[in-house]
Structure 1
């Protein structure tokens, strides 16, 4: 077995690392985060200039090529410095590039994918309902009713990332009142954010501040047939592939945060003098640091396997969930230990550790709570459904 990156992948990783060090070092990310409700449009545009938004999009549709593993390499390097701000790339990558790439018609791909690749269009995902959280289908109250030439949508969504700046919302709605199964009768739509009847409100939150998370209200919003994604009534079966990609990409973001935490911890352990010797000579802190490295390698292997399986067209649901759990919990624990290593300065807003912790803490909750992810793993391994 060969777990190493190819020469081409390693060269790509180094290229991204150099770009990050020049264009968005950790200090710049810390300054960006202070502008809580300001979306970093300029940073998004600079990513477009170097072709990052085209990663994972076929060259035939204006993209840069690459697979799910290339997505992982890219967002990991971005997040090492940017932390949660890296999700401005990630949300477009799966909600736009992969969703349209997986399910779009040829006309939709030729029209939309070049716009994703060049950064001229932004996408948001709008599937979660206020009453349900992870229970997407059990409380799905947003409806789409047939109308001449399209559909009329009514309902409300929450935790819709970057909806306030998106051009399109990848939205899940019920299109059949009484389906035989709750997994049936649902449809995916590409809802123009500026369509009449759409309203977005940002939610103040602990971390991931620049990216923006929104409540979305839909009041008699008309969406033409040409913006239905995939076959009507089959959304849930399609959405699973998109959600697996989301978990893989977000796991890689958490791993990037873990990389950044390890760098900051090592620097401080090497530099700080206490009781006449370097902080890094303290045995308990060496254990903290060793645990960070163990978490890093464990997450890396799981993420690479999940990304490889999806790129090969293999089932990756269990692997995506495992990767998401290990990466998110590893990043949160490492950042918390990092704050402890820094002592009082770890609690200061001028240091990176607190930013990493606040951003990483979300990933134990979303896009699926780790408790629910564990339930799914157990069910896939043969135990009865627990929910």
Structure 2
């Protein structure tokens, strides 16, 4: 069994790493993150110039090509410096290229994928309901009714990141109430964000500040038939493979955070002196750093395993959930240890540990809470359903 990356992937990873150090260093990311009311267009433009929006999109649609592992390598390297701001790339990659690329029609692919690949289209995900949270199906109140030429959309979504700057919203809504199971009767819509009847309001939050997260209200918003993705009423069946990809992507972002934490912790432990010697000589600090390094390797192994399984077409549902679980908890714990290692400077906005902690804290909640992950894993092992 060979755990080494093929040369093509190593070259890509190393090139991205150099790009990150040059173009989006941690000091620049800190400055971006300080202004929570200003979307970092400059960061989006840097991704465009580097061609990153095209990773995972076929060359036939002006993309760079590459499989899920290449996307995860990119996500990891970006998050090492950017933390949660790497989602600036990830949201459109998931909402646009993955969704359109997987279940869009040929006409939709030809229209939208080149715009995504070349950075001309920003997308946002509008799935979560205010009354639902993780219980997306049980809390689904957003609905769409057929009208001439399309649908009228009504309802509200919350925590739609970057919706305030998006060109399109990926929206799931109930289109059939006469169903026997909650996952039936749902349809996926590709909604132009400037549609009449769509109101987007930014929310204040703990981390990933300058990216912005929003509530989205739909009041008789018209969506044309050509903006339905896949078959009406069958959205949940289409989404399941995409949701696995989202969990793997979260794992990659979390691993990048762990990389950044370890890098900063080692630098500080070598340079900071207390009681007449570097703090890296203290056993407690060494143990913290050893723990972070162990989290890094275990998360990396699980990430590569999941990416390999998905790229080869194997079922990866449980493994993707396990990855999301351990990666998010490892990243948040690593960042917390990083703050402890840096002491008061770890709490300071002039260093990155507090940013890593705030950003990684979200991934223990979304896109699904770790408690619900554990519930699902236990049920998959034959235990009775607990929710």
**2:323 and 2:201 mapped to 1: Cα distance?**
31
Match of 2:131 in 1: 131
Correspondence 1:1-387 to 2 at 5 A: 1-387=1-387
Contact kept in structure 2, 1:20 and 1:81, CA below 8 Å: yes
Return 5+ residue gaps in structure 1 as ranges: none
TM-score (normalizing by structure 1) = 0.99
Deviations, residues 162-194 of structure 1 (Å, cap 9, x unaligned): 111111111000000221211110000001100
Q: Secondary structure of the residue that 2:363 maps to in structure 1?
A: helix
Shift of 1:381: 2.4
Contact kept in structure 2, 1:33 and 1:210, CA below 8 Å: yes
Shift of 1:380: 2.0
**2:190 and 2:342 mapped to 1: Cα distance?**
46
Q: Secondary structure of the residue that 2:189 maps to in structure 1?
A: strand
Shift of 1:349: 1.0
**1:380 and 1:92 mapped to 2: Cα distance?**
31
Shift of 1:78: 0.5
Shift of 1:382: 2.3
**1:383 and 1:251 mapped to 2: Cα distance?**
26
Q: Secondary structure of the residue that 1:364 maps to in structure 2?
A: coil
Contact kept in structure 2, 1:126 and 1:172, CA below 8 Å: yes
Contact kept in structure 2, 1:79 and 1:257, CA below 8 Å: yes
Deviations, residues 66-86 of structure 1 (Å, cap 9, x unaligned): 011011000100110011111
**2:149 and 2:385 mapped to 1: Cα distance?**
40
Contact kept in structure 2, 1:95 and 1:242, CA below 8 Å: no
Q: How many residues align?
A: 387
Shift of 1:5: 1.1
**2:210 and 2:385 mapped to 1: Cα distance?**
38
Q: Which runs of 4+ in 1 moved over 6 A?
A: none
Q: Secondary structure of the residue that 1:164 maps to in structure 2?
A: helix
**1:151 and 1:224 mapped to 2: Cα distance?**
6
Let me know the Cα RMSD of the aligned residues.
0.9
**1:76 and 1:190 mapped to 2: Cα distance?**
28
TM-score (normalizing by structure 2) = 0.99
